[in-house]
Structure 1
Amino acid sequence: MSLDAVLARIDTDLPGSIDRLMDLLRIQSVSTDPAYKAECDKAADWLVADLNSIGIAAQKRPTPGHPMVVGHVGDEGSDAPHLLFYGHYDVQPVDPLNLWNTPPFEPQIEETPTGKVIRGRGASDDKGQLMTFVEACRAWKAVNGALPCRITFFFEGEEESGSPSLVPFMEANADELKADLALICDTSMVSRGVPSIASQLRGMLKDEFTITGPRIDLHSGHYGGPGLNPLREISRIVASFHDEETGRVAVDGFYEGVHEVPAEQLRQWQTCGFDEAEYLNSVGYTVPHGEKAYSTLEQQWARPTLEVNGMWGGYNGAGSKTVIPSQAHCKITCRLVGDQDPDALRKHIRKHVEGRLSPDAKVTWDNDSEGSRAPVMNIARPEFEAARGALSDEWDREAVFTGMGGSIPIAGFFKSVLGLDAMLIGFANDDDAIHSPNEKYDVKSFHKGIRSWARVLDALTQAG
């Protein structure tokens, strides 16, 4: 099969590829709002028809929420690898609408200082990214009459609304969805023009607690002094979560399962073009505020955190009310890395809080706490280095194995439900304004993303 001919076909057909993406972007597939249910169905139907048009046997599959799209192509008896490609066709709500410069579901091409962009909701997250892979397959099929390996397509319609149907669907259809390797295109490049493969994500732990002092709010004149104030109590405990000098989390056992970054990955991170000053200044910071012994990228990608997301209690209305409140409340989340166990970590955090309570203070914990381990990709597999080489060839720049500060649950589900390693490759840029007004996707990202996937398919087929 000719890769050069496929790349030439991608270049020639770029206007058609953009037109097809524009058609998909016009569909208002907002998954979280029931008013858009028909639009989500329409998007799933559009994808089924598009996959069928290039010879991929695809179906819209019902769930209790929005439908999945599943398609298959390739010979089951072939020695070529079997890949599963995942993307999502649903999008975030567009509010606040008044901040959009153009209608969010009337996509258009715009000239910007960094080049042409495709403007519209879903352009980057995730319709544009999803279509880079589909268009690469279209070109392969047009030139060679067949794809280079067996592929299963798996498109979700609820990623932006918590994926309530995802795990049950995967469990019910595990035999059909199993493959040799999962591919996910819902990520970004570490810097503009630097192709990236995510090698590790961070897991998540959520918890919430309430500290109660007096049985009712008290008059601060009658009880001010002898009375325990839950707001003061919770502030003292929250302040004890971190060591002021080092920035480390000061909870005993917090760093169990945390590993140092291998030297070769650190080298790639140090030369990936990340601009620390731009990253910090863009949100109003002048210096990093995490663990002082680690770089900003290490803090973001490879170190765990304990964050206070909300703290409240007492009177919050206009003017003043002279009370000692009965209760104070706190929400926390932890980003997990390496082999950290969320269940064990929750016990450490709760022990830390309970061990610091003053007499007459009582703590109650939320019973709906959540936790998930950090997905770590098996980059020792030869496919990862093959894909890195393919991306380097396309972008004329060494591709890097990066970390990610956030969590992409599907990567963990592929491992826990299907036993699949996942490879995360995306072509978004940090300024794409995903989830925000005026979302965009660079035309260069779309074009070179298609070419990149063509090269990656070729490389993975050879590696397999």
Structure 2
Amino acid sequence: MTVKRSDLEAYVKHSRPLFEDLLGQMVEIPSISMDPSRSTDIERMAILASQVLSDFKADVRSVETGGYPIVSGGWTSDATYPTVTVYNHMDVQPAQEPQWKQAPFAFKNEDGVYRGRGATDDKGPALAALLGARFALEQGVPINIRFLWELEEEIGSPHFAQGLKHRASIPRPDSVVVSDTIWIAKGRPAMPYGLRGLIGARLTLRTGSQDAHSGVTGGAARNPLAELMEIAQACVNAKTGEVKIPGFYRDVVKPTNDEIKSFLRSGFHVRRFKEAYGFHTLRTEDPAEVTRRIWAAPTFEIHGLTGGYHGPGVKTIVPGQGELKVSMRLVPNQTPEKAFALLKKFVGKLNPNVKVECEGTLHPFKGHFDGPYVDCITRAAKEGFGKEPSFIREGGSIGAVVTMQNAWKVPILFLGLSLPEHGYHAPNEYFDWGQASGGIKAFAHYFAEVAKLGGLRQSR
């Protein structure tokens, strides 16, 4: 069936107060999954999420995972209809940056600009998808829709796979759509079909039981910070970003020329990229090379070096221990397990006293940027935002995506709504009604489009 544009426009306008009220309630719960002291807030978020779905007349379950629960809810109108699962997450990043201009968990609505941690990552997009689903169902679109709202995405989804084993509460769908990604620029929809993987690691070196006076011991004492910096220099070329760990690039699948052309059609602009993220300079200014590097190439990043003295002035000590925090973004066909083994072996040869510990892993994901489901996304985005999307990869990682791919073997698509300026993982995060209202329309159309693909359903 076809969505009637005038009915959808009226529905979106009527839904705005409800969207704003629900987003305000959600943002004001500090559901920070990586902070154990916020476990009560995570429980509050799960209760509110369940209540919201229940108020929308969904069949709702809070699924135990061994960690924080997954809220699963949906509507099954007819077993012969195709089933779409919509994935979002309700946990958020911490908000301790000094640059915040307001209390991060005090929701502000400034005439359609919605400020607060979690507004764009990922509570606002989740509500837009939900309101789009309600319209489609009210219009009698022949489709079954289920929502999965996770509460551990920001810590790598460690218990998500366990949750999916509860098949009565989380049944296998025919396809999945994820709304947790970022466009390139406002007015230029961009939908990813791939995500980089991730592995984090801590490299620690203890050479003494305490800090020592550098005037008394310097020259004879080993300096763990200097030795860790030597390892960092051996692992990555700081100026070019080239990873120097032997064998690191062996399994990398490079993007095709068609993929690079699609990247460039996305509206990516180097100047806007620099402005959005506050960069003064980049390693390269070539658009094709920048997009390749941030979406389709692996990396080795240094996140922090700790140990020694960090106060004002210079305290002349030799540190007794140091720690280097690093990560590697991975692309198909790399695996976190092999990348970590290569790192550990390389560091062991450089300095056998350094302890290398893994701090979480996520596998890369690559879907398709053509085919019937991609056509559905294309038509839906055009109806919602007036322009067809470009198909790109995204440099970040969403652990649940690979888990769903492995568990269900069904098409996984992305219909993200966030903009670079919205501040993913950054201070002063916000979402806006323009993206929300367009998202409601796009999702309503997407469900109608997928309903037409009933003949392509996966066998169960």
Give the TM bin, normalised by the shorter chain.
0.7 to 0.9
Equivalent residue, structure 2, for 1:29:
29
Q: Distance in 2 between matches of 1:414 and 1:443?
A: 30
Q: Distance in 2 between matches of 1:249 and 1:293?
A: 21
1:410 matched to 2:406? The reply is no
Percent identity, aligned pairs only, is: 25
Q: How big is the shift at 1:459?
A: 2.4
Q: Answer whether contact 1:248 1:290 (CA < 8 A) is retained.
A: no
Amino acid at match of 1:275: H
Q: Distance in 2 between matches of 1:196 and 1:150?
A: 26
1:51 matched to 2:42? The reply is no
Equivalent residue, structure 1, for 2:225:
231
Q: How big is the shift at 1:401?
A: 1.0
1:85-124 equivalent positions in 2, closer than 5 A = 85-92=86-93, 99-101=100-102, 104-110=105-111, 116-124=112-120
Distance 1:411 1:256, change over 3 A: same
Q: Answer whether contact 1:207 1:331 (CA < 8 A) is retained.
A: yes
Q: Answer whether contact 2:255 2:296 (CA < 8 A) is retained.
A: yes
Distance 1:36 1:61, change over 3 A: same
Q: How big is the shift at 1:21?
A: 1.2
SS state at 2:414 partner: strand
Q: How big is the shift at 1:317?
A: 4.5
Amino acid at match of 2:128: T
Q: Distance in 2 between matches of 1:166 and 1:426?
A: 21
Q: How big is the shift at 1:240?
A: 1.8
1:136 matched to 2:132? The reply is yes
The one of 13, 17, 28 aligned to 2:15:
17
Q: How big is the shift at 1:158?
A: 4.1
The one of 325, 330, 335 aligned to 1:331:
325
SS state at 1:299 partner: helix
The one of 393, 411, 417 aligned to 1:421:
411
1:364 matched to 2:365? The reply is no
Q: How big is the shift at 1:426?
A: 1.0
1:39 matched to 2:44? The reply is yes
SS state at 1:288 partner: coil
The Cα offsets for residues 159-185 of structure 1, whole Å up to 9 and x where unpaired, read as: 456545533211233784211211111
The one of 47, 53, 77 aligned to 1:74:
77
Equivalent residue, structure 2, for 1:171:
165
Q: Answer whether contact 2:99 2:428 (CA < 8 A) is retained.
A: no
SS state at 1:362 partner: coil
Q: How many equivalent residue pairs?
A: 446
TM-score (norm 2): 0.86
Q: How big is the shift at 1:339?
A: 0.9
SS state at 1:124 partner: helix
Equivalent residue, structure 1, for 2:122:
126
SS state at 1:369 partner: strand
Equivalent residue, structure 1, for 2:272:
278
Q: Distance in 2 between matches of 1:451 and 1:321?
A: 60
Q: Answer whether contact 2:42 2:151 (CA < 8 A) is retained.
A: no
1:202 matched to 2:192? The reply is no
The Cα offsets for residues 43-72 of structure 1, whole Å up to 9 and x where unpaired, read as: 1243233320xxx43344456535613223
TM-score (norm 1): 0.85
The one of 229, 253, 258 aligned to 2:247:
253
Q: How big is the shift at 1:389?
A: 3.7
Q: How big is the shift at 1:386?
A: 3.2
Q: How big is the shift at 1:253?
A: 0.7
Equivalent residue, structure 2, for 1:65:
68
Distance 1:180 1:198, change over 3 A: same
Q: How big is the shift at 1:232?
A: 2.3
Distance 1:293 1:231, change over 3 A: farther
SS state at 1:177 partner: coil
Structure 2, gaps ≥5 residues long = 33-37
Q: Distance in 2 between matches of 1:290 and 1:228?
A: 37
Q: How big is the shift at 1:452?
A: 1.2
Q: How big is the shift at 1:203?
A: 0.7
Distance 1:103 1:279, change over 3 A: closer
Distance 1:242 1:224, change over 3 A: same
Distance 1:267 1:30, change over 3 A: same
Q: Answer whether contact 1:81 1:461 (CA < 8 A) is retained.
A: yes
Q: How big is the shift at 1:431?
A: 1.4
Q: Answer whether contact 1:44 1:67 (CA < 8 A) is retained.
A: no
Larger Rg: 1
Q: How big is the shift at 1:410?
A: 1.4
SS state at 1:190 partner: coil
Q: Answer whether contact 2:270 2:285 (CA < 8 A) is retained.
A: no
Distance 1:372 1:244, change over 3 A: closer
Q: Answer whether contact 2:269 2:287 (CA < 8 A) is retained.
A: no
Q: Distance in 2 between matches of 1:141 and 1:293?
A: 42
Q: Answer whether contact 1:29 1:43 (CA < 8 A) is retained.
A: no
1:182 matched to 2:182? The reply is no
The Cα offsets for residues 182-201 of structure 1, whole Å up to 9 and x where unpaired, read as: 11111122211122221111
Equivalent residue, structure 2, for 1:391:
381
Q: Distance in 2 between matches of 1:11 and 1:419?
A: 35
The Cα offsets for residues 307-338 of structure 1, whole Å up to 9 and x where unpaired, read as: 11111333444554444333332111111111
1:83 matched to 2:84? The reply is yes
Q: Answer whether contact 1:102 1:438 (CA < 8 A) is retained.
A: no
Q: Distance in 1 between matches of 2:92 and 2:230?
A: 41
Q: Distance in 2 between matches of 1:51 and 1:385?
A: 29
The one of 143, 146, 150 aligned to 1:149:
143
SS state at 1:31 partner: coil
The one of 319, 327, 343 aligned to 2:337:
343
Q: CA RMSD in A?
A: 3.1
The Cα offsets for residues 325-383 of structure 1, whole Å up to 9 and x where unpaired, read as: 333321111111111121111122222222233xxx722222x5322221112345431
Mean Cα deviation higher: 424-433 or 380-389: 380-389
